[in-house]
C-alpha cells in the first residue's frame, strides 16, 4: 500500500557523465518546485486582498457612523469656542481636521489592502485617533475655554520673549 522510497544513489559510485545528469535533473526539479511555489503565492495574494477589501467595506458602514458623531463633537465645539470671526476660521479648522482624517483613513486602508495591517484595525484607527480630540474639544467648549484667542497666546508667550530679549541685550553689552 505504501510507496517505497527511491533508493539513494551515492554520487561517488556513479560515473562522471551520470553524475552531471543526476545533478541537472535535481536542479530542474528544484526550479520546477520554485516556480510552482511562486505561482501558489501569487494565487494567495488576490484572495487576501479581496478579503481585506470586503472587511474594510463592511467596517466602513459602522465606522463612518462613529465618524459622524466625532465630527459633530468637533464641529459643535468649534462653533461654540470660536464665536467671533464669522465662518472663516471654523471652516478652515474643520477642513484641516477632515484632511487629517482622510489621509489617515486612506493610508491605513491601503495598508490593509496590501495585507500589512489587520483590516479591522485599519478601519477603526482614524476614529481612534480623532475621538480623543473630539472629546477634548467638547470638554473645552463646555468649560468655556478660549482656545483660539490670539491675545491669550501672546500673553502666555510674553515672559518667554522677555527672556530672549534680555539675553540678546546682555550679550551686546559684554
User: Would the CA dihedral through 54, 56, 60, 61 be positive or negative?
Assistant: positive
Residue 140: partners with Cβ closer than 8 Å, 6 or more residues away: 77, 81, 147
In-domain check, residue 96: yes
pLDDT of residue 131: 95
pLDDT one digit per residue (tens) for the chain, 174 residues: 455 556 666 666 767 778 788 888 889 999 999 988 887 776 657 778 888 889 999 999 999 999 999 999 988 888 887 766 667 777 888 899 999 999 999 999 988 888 888 999 999 999 999 999 999 999 988 888 776 665 666 777 777 777 776 555 555 555
Domain count, the chain: 1
Residue 94 lies in a domain: yes
Instruction: With respect to residue 24, please indicate whether it lies within any of the assigned structural domains.
Output: no
Give domain status of residue 33, yes or no.
no
Asked if residue 101 is part of any domain, the answer here is yes
Domain for residue 27, yes or no? no
Which residue, chain included where needed, has cell 477634548? 136
Asked whether residue 62 is domain-assigned, the answer is yes
Burial classification of residue 7, based on how many CB atoms lie within 10 Å of its CB (0-12 exposed, 13-18 middle, 19 or more buried) = exposed
Domain of 63 in residue numbering reads as: 50-146
Answer whether residue 139 is part of any domain: yes
What the block records as the C-alpha cell of 61 is 458602514
CB 137 within 8 A of CB 77: yes
Amino acid at each position: 500500500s505504501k510507496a517505497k522510497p527511491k533508493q539513494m544513489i551515492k554520487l561517488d559510485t556513479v560515473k562522471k557523465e551520470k553524475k552531471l545528469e543526476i545533478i541537472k535533473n535535481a536542479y530542474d526539479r528544484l526550479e520546477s518546485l520554485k516556480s510552482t511555489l511562486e505561482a501558489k503565492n501569487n494565487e494567495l495574494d488576490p484572495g487576501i486582498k479581496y478579503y481585506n477589501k470586503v472587511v474594510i467595506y463592511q467596517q466602513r458602514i459602522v465606522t463612518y457612523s462613529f465618524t459622524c458623531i466625532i465630527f459633530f463633537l468637533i464641529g459643535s465645539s468649534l462653533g461654540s469656542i470660536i464665536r467671533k470671526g464669522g465662518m472663516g476660521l471654523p471652516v478652515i479648522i474643520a477642513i484641516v481636521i477632515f484632511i487629517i482624517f482622510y489621509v489617515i483613513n486612506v493610508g491605513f486602508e491601503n495598508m490593509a489592502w496590501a495585507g500589512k495591517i489587520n483590516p479591522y484595525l485599519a478601519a477603526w484607527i482614524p476614529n481612534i485617533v480623532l475621538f480623543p480630540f473630539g472629546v477634548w474639544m467638547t470638554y473645552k467648549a463646555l468649560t468655556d475655554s478660549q482656545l483660539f484667542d490670539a491675545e491669550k497666546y501672546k500673553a502666555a508667550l510674553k515672559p518667554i520673549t522677555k527672556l530672549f530679549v534680555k539675553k540678546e541685550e546682555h550679550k551686546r553689552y559684554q
